[in-house]
Amino acid sequence: MQDPIRIVLAKIGFDGHDRGLKVVARLLRDAGFEVIYLGLRQTTDAVVAVAEQEDADAIGLSIHNGGHLTLAPRMVAAVAERELGVPVIVGGIVPDRDIQALLDAGVAAVLGPGTSGADVVAVVRSTVAPE
Amino acid sequence: MMASMTSDDRAAWEAEYAEARLRDVDFETMSGIPVDPIHGPGPYPGQYPYTRGIHASMYRSRLWTMRMFAGFGTAHDTNLRFKDILANGGTGLSTAFDMPTLMGRDSDHEWSVGEVGKAGVAIDTVADMRDLFADIDLGEVSTSMTINGPAAIVMAMYVAVAEANGVPRSKLGGTIQNDVLKEYQAQKEYIFAPRPSMRLVTDMMRFTAAEMPRWNPVSISGYHIREAGSTAAQELAFTLANGFAYVEAAVASGLAVDDFAPRLSFFFNSHLDFFEEIGKYRAARRIWARWMKERYGATNERSLLMRFHTQTAGVSLTAQQPEINIARVAIQALAGVLGGTQSLHTDSYDEALALPTEKAARIALRTQQIIAHETGVTNVADPLGGSHYVEWMTDEMEKRADEVFEHLLELGDGSMLEGVYEGIDDGYFVGEIADSAYRFERSVNSGRRIIVGVNDFTDGDDADGSNLLYIDAAVEQEQLGRLGAVKQSRDSDLVARCLDSLAADAAEPDINLMPGFIDAVEAHATEGEIVSTLEGVFGTYTEKAVV
């Protein structure tokens, strides 16, 4: 039997909207993932340190107040700096027209408003283990 | 017996109605049929326990305040939006602050990068506050400011700007949210731990009770609790429990209940289950009146009246087919009006993805104006009172809230204040809210609950996001420049002295910090400097990360 996928979930900086991230945490947990929930007010360095220590397969970042174009690339850079090779998935309020910019910046996948639970699970799974 | 009570109620209501000043409109149907202002048996609107409304004449005298929340970019940008709202018939201002401001940090804090002016207006110093309200007569307009953790500091800036413009603080009318308890439960914009935060709240309550008779020092808010995922009954119960906690804290700080209770106001969500919402508002008024009278011994009638603001449910807006949000908002707004709200914010259809564009904000305001002027619902107070379903729903909401109150009183050994502190500490509130949010999400995922445009009826989504409001990245640079200029030109010795004196005052629990805040902001101390000073005394708060 395969080890469960381990994902670190966090919010960076000031943004306190944690409803979505908590729902995603439970969804993934119920789908058999191992969720390391860091919650609010994290720094990119703290998230990377936990991802490394916990040998995580992915990092899920939730962003709800318009800071995604700044915060997500910073997270990607922090992961690259430690050479973790762990994909960064961004969820939250991301308008369609910003998705390409995030992908170009190295974000592995974007889960926007209205994404179904099944899609969240499928996207995380396929991001960690393509095809 | 019943009949004579009813006729007494009727006579008392008639006397009160006769004294009310009415709007100069025809109170008749579209077809010309005259309608009575109330229907059914008493107790009537304006009569204890106020289930049916807090005024005898309700909207016949005064429509609700159409208060549209706005804020983005620099203070100057938001000032232009404010003037547009006033020119379009808005009757109150409501200020959204950006995340750094809400968290008590300056625009040059390391976490502020990418956040300055994004989700609201950036305020660092009194100079920004001056620009925010430029050319607006603060003695005339009523202003709401949505800020909590650092509310007292922003309030001090508002007072300083008004007085510099020649408007005495006693003339200022408005509301500051300042409801820190729900921050730990739902919105998560706390800075200090609950107890020192409560001290800031009671300092403000004492200050406004003594010097600002037209100001509401706390807006006890269920809105965010609901947005975070609670049910309607949880929103009702947690909000009122918080309200009782503030009453107990204020009394413990030396205020008499009738000295401050008339200025407490509330803020509720209006979601899509129409009758559940209306039952919630009616139950809220009744519970508040009973507890204030029976448990807290209020004798001034105004202490018993629950006045509340309503905002339509942001969380109900869909990014898919955004125009259909206009219909959602109209239904939610109507529930608020039929529930007897005193003021209302209608969300804009494009808000699932970004702050509203000017056009979307105008449509939202026009939605309220249609309800107010075209539908006739304002002719009669509590038009749904007496409906078997609505009365049952009202009772049901009250019953469910009572169960929560019992639990909290048990946690607090008979004290609601201690019960709420305990519920924050042991994760009761966040756990209940997260459970409800997950239950809702699962019902959507399973298809048991349909969200039009999201999990059914999905054809026709042509939203490309091209009309969204974008905050120019230049805003951040501009704001940093302004902050730098203020820091250059101020008397830094004076700032240091003000901050030292604040630190000393903060260490003395009986000293009211408001005068010290006003001195500090007048010296152009920044919000972040004042917050850091307080953190030196109070420490900071970190919540346990629990799913």
Nearest CA in chain B to A11: B545
Q: Strand runs (DSSP E) across B291-434, as ranges? A: 308-312, 343-345
* A29 pLDDT more than 70: yes
* A119 pLDDT more than 70: yes
pLDDT value at residue B175: 94
Q: Do B228 and A19 touch (CB under 8 A)?
A: yes
pLDDT value at residue B2: 47
CB-nearest to B100 from A14, A97, A112 is A14
pLDDT value at residue B246: 98
pLDDT value at residue B5: 56
- Work out the minimum CA distance from A128 to partner chain B, whole angstroms: 22
Selection from B91, B81, B98, B176 nearest residue B133 by Cα: B81
DSSP 8-state assignment for residue B456: B
* A24 pLDDT more than 90: yes
CB of B132 within 8 A of CB of A44?
Answer: no
> Out of A92-96, B90-94, B404-408, which region has the weakest mean confidence (pLDDT)?
B90-94
Angle between helices A117-128 and B428-445 (to 10 degrees): 90
Q: For the beta carbon of residue B465, count every other beta carbon within 10 angstroms.
A: 17
User: Does A30 reside within a domain?
Assistant: yes
C-alpha distance from residue A33 to each of A121, B111, B547 (Å)? 9, 30, 14
For the segment B155-206, what is each residue's pLDDT rounded down to a tens digit? 999 999 999 999 999 999 999 999 999 999 999 999 999 999 999 999 999 9
Tell me which chain A residues have a C-beta less than 8 angstroms from the C-beta of B147.
none
ipTM: 0.94
* B69 pLDDT more than 80: no
The residue-averaged pLDDT of B448-468 equals 87
Tell me which chain B residues have a C-beta less than 8 angstroms from the C-beta of A22.
434, 437-438, 547
The residue-averaged pLDDT of B51-68 equals 94
Secondary structure, 3-state, B25-87:
CCCECCCCCECCCCCCCCCCCCCCCCCCCCCCCHHHCCCCEEEEEECCECHHHHHHHHHHHHH
For the segment B281-290, what is each residue's pLDDT rounded down to a tens digit? 999 999 999 9
User: Does A87 reside within a domain?
Assistant: yes
- Determine the Cα–Cα distance for residues B474 and B466; give it in Å rounded to an integer: 20
pLDDT category, B469, cuts 50, 70, 90?
confident
For the segment B410-442, what is each residue's pLDDT rounded down to a tens digit? 999 999 999 999 999 999 999 999 999 999 999
pLDDT value at residue B468: 74
- If one counts the domains in chain A, the total is 1
Q: How far is CA B196 from the centre of its chain?
A: 22
- Determine the Cα–Cα distance for residues B53 and B337; give it in Å rounded to an integer: 11
Selection from B209, B248, B231 nearest residue B443 by Cα: B231
Identify the contact set of chain A against chain B, taking CB-CB distances under 8 A: 13-19, 22-23, 25-27, 29, 35, 37-41, 65-67, 69-71, 93, 95-97, 112-114, 116-118
The residue-averaged pLDDT of B455-484 equals 85
CB-nearest to A112 from B188, B319, B442 is B319
What DSSP element (H or E) covers A39? Answer: strand A34-42
Selection from B368, B272, B315, B471 nearest residue B63 by Cα: B368
- Surface-to-core class of residue B12, CB atoms within 10 Å of its CB (0-12 exposed, 13-18 middle, 19+ buried): middle
Tell me which chain A residues have a C-beta less than 8 angstroms from the C-beta of B450.
none
- Determine the Cα–Cα distance for residues B521 and B524; give it in Å rounded to an integer: 5
- Determine the Cα–Cα distance for residues A89 and A77; give it in Å rounded to an integer: 13
C-alpha distance from residue A48 to each of A24, A79, B249 (Å)? 20, 6, 42
* A30 pLDDT more than 80: yes
- Determine the Cα–Cα distance for residues A68 and A107; give it in Å rounded to an integer: 11
Angle between helices B527-538 and B194-211 (to 10 degrees): 120
pLDDT value at residue B462: 77
Domain that holds residue A20: 6-103
CB-nearest to B115 from A65, A114, A117 is A65
Name the 3-class secondary structure at B403.
helix
Q: Do A14 and B105 touch (CB under 8 A)?
A: yes
* B70 pLDDT more than 60: yes
The residue-averaged pLDDT of B243-264 equals 98
| Amino acid type, B385 | G
Provide Rg for chain B, Cα atoms: 23
pLDDT value at residue A12: 93
Round the average pLDDT of chain B to a whole number and report it: 95
Tell me which chain B residues have a C-beta less than 8 angstroms from the C-beta of A70.
113-115
pLDDT value at residue B353: 84
The residue-averaged pLDDT of B464-473 equals 72
User: Does A122 reside within a domain?
Assistant: no
pLDDT value at residue B68: 75
The residue-averaged pLDDT of B458-484 equals 84
- Higher-confidence residue of B309 and B69: namely B309
Selection from A78, A96, A83, A88 nearest residue A123 by Cα: A88
User: Does A121 reside within a domain?
Assistant: no
* B471 pLDDT more than 80: no
Tokens representing B199 are 């001290």
Does the N-terminal peptide bond of residue B383 adopt cis geometry, omega within 30 degrees of 0? Answer: no
Tell me which chain A residues have a C-beta less than 8 angstroms from the C-beta of B102.
14
DSSP string, A42-97: E-HHHHHHHHHHTT-SEEEEEE-SS-HHHHHHHHHHHHHHTT----EEEEES--HH
Q: Do A66 and B354 touch (CB under 8 A)?
A: yes
Q: Do A39 and B111 touch (CB under 8 A)?
A: no
For the segment B75-92, what is each residue's pLDDT rounded down to a tens digit? 998 999 899 888 887 777
**CATH at residue A51:** 3.40.50.280
pLDDT value at residue A112: 92
Selection from A128, A111, A104 nearest residue A63 by Cα: A111
* B1 pLDDT more than 60: no
Q: Do A112 and B468 touch (CB under 8 A)?
A: no
CB of B150 within 8 A of CB of B126?
Answer: no
* B4 pLDDT more than 60: no
CB-nearest to A118 from B315, B445, B546 is B445
Selection from B303, B316, B337, B247 nearest residue B53 by Cα: B337
pLDDT value at residue B544: 87
**Residue of B103, B109, B115 to mutate, testing the A interface (most A Cβ within 10 Å of its Cβ):** B115
**Residue of A9, A11, A12, A14 to mutate, testing the B interface (most B Cβ within 10 Å of its Cβ):** A14
Contacts across the A-B interface (CB distance below 8 Å): 105
Contacts of B362 (CB under 8 A, 6+ apart): B88
pLDDT value at residue A131: 55
Percent over 70 (pLDDT), chain B: 98
pLDDT value at residue B177: 97
For the segment B241-251, what is each residue's pLDDT rounded down to a tens digit? 999 999 999 99
- Determine the Cα–Cα distance for residues B152 and B147; give it in Å rounded to an integer: 9
Assigned architecture for domain B58-445: Alpha-Beta Barrel (3.20)
User: Does A55 reside within a domain?
Assistant: yes
Tokens representing B147 are 């800020």
pLDDT value at residue B6: 63
| Amino acid type, A5 | I
- Work out the minimum CA distance from B22 to partner chain A, whole angstroms: 43
CB of B352 within 8 A of CB of B318?
Answer: yes
